[in-house]
Amino acid sequence: MSILIPWQDNNLTLLVFLFLLAWLIQKTLKIGRREKYLPGGPPTVPILGNLHIFPIEDPHLKFTEWAQQYGDIYSLKISSSTVIVISGMEAVSELMDRRSATTADRPKYHMGKRVTNNLNMGLCGYSDTWRALRKAAHTILTPAAAESHLPIQVC
């Protein structure tokens, strides 16, 4: 059994604190940095990403300029979020038509999924559940179905 000398206890605390501080700084500096697997784009700065150069007025002009510089598909980092911009007709057709099975989906909203038991068509991902919800909504909201609801609405 070892006996800790008071200065050893302080050194251990300081070492743990410095380690946690270094880890926190390293994690913070990664916010806003583009991951290696993403398509290229404008240079980022730590924490902000591309927020400091994100266009507020006439964004289409800046997006067109970036498309000429970085290609039809490029990425932007807005703090910790990633935005993939697709600008060329050929790239849009490829991703939205030919690869729609893997690219047509919504972002995952885990809290919304839990609150609605995954039965909210607006939050539900592209799946069998979404297809069933869409089919049910379509049957209720067709013009013929709307006419059948009219007597209830008039009362």
HEC string for 68-92: HHHCCEEEEEECCEEEEEECCHHHH
Region 63-78: mean pLDDT is 92
Tell me which residue of 106, 112, 134, 140 sits closest to 121, measured CA to CA: 134
In a domain, 97, yes or no: yes
Percent with pLDDT over 70 in the chain: 93
- Please tell me the predicted confidence (pLDDT) of residue 2: 57
Give the chain's domain count. 2
In a domain, 22, yes or no: no
**Which of 110-114's residues contact partners 24+ apart within 8 Å by CB, and which partners?**
none
Please state whether beta strands 81-86 and 73-78 pair in parallel, antiparallel, or not at all (unpaired).
antiparallel
Same domain? For 51 and 87 the reply is yes
Same domain? For 100 and 110 the reply is no
Same domain? For 86 and 99 the reply is yes
In a domain, 53, yes or no: yes
In a domain, 2, yes or no: no
Same domain? For 93 and 112 the reply is no
Same domain? For 90 and 141 the reply is no
Region 34-38: mean pLDDT is 85
At 37, the amino acid letter reads: Y
Stretch among 5-14, 19-28, 120-129 having the lowest mean pLDDT: 5-14
Tell me which residue of 100, 99, 121 sits closest to 112, measured CA to CA: 121
Same domain? For 93 and 116 the reply is no
At 23, the amino acid letter reads: W
Whether residue 33 is predicted with pLDDT greater than 90 in this model: the reply is no
pTM as predicted: 0.59
Rounded to the nearest 5°, which phi and psi values hold at 85? -105, 125
Same domain? For 76 and 111 the reply is no
Region 70-79: mean pLDDT is 90
Per the listing, tokens 């910790």 go with 80
Whether residue 123 is predicted with pLDDT greater than 70 in this model: the reply is yes
Same domain? For 52 and 94 the reply is yes
Percent with pLDDT over 90 in the chain: 19
- Please tell me the predicted confidence (pLDDT) of residue 97: 84
Region 63-86: mean pLDDT is 90
47 phi-psi bin (left φ>0, alpha ψ -120 to 50, beta other): left
- Please tell me the predicted confidence (pLDDT) of residue 65: 93
> What is the rounded CA–CA span in Å between residue 29 and residue 42?
17
143-154 and 128-141 helices, crossing angle to 10°? 60
Domain residues for the domain of 125 are 106-145
Same domain? For 91 and 113 the reply is no
- Please tell me the predicted confidence (pLDDT) of residue 36: 85
Region 4-22: mean pLDDT is 77
In a domain, 151, yes or no: no
Same domain? For 125 and 110 the reply is yes
* Total residue length of the chain: 155
In a domain, 152, yes or no: no
Whether residue 99 is predicted with pLDDT greater than 80 in this model: the reply is yes
Same domain? For 37 and 92 the reply is yes
In a domain, 122, yes or no: yes
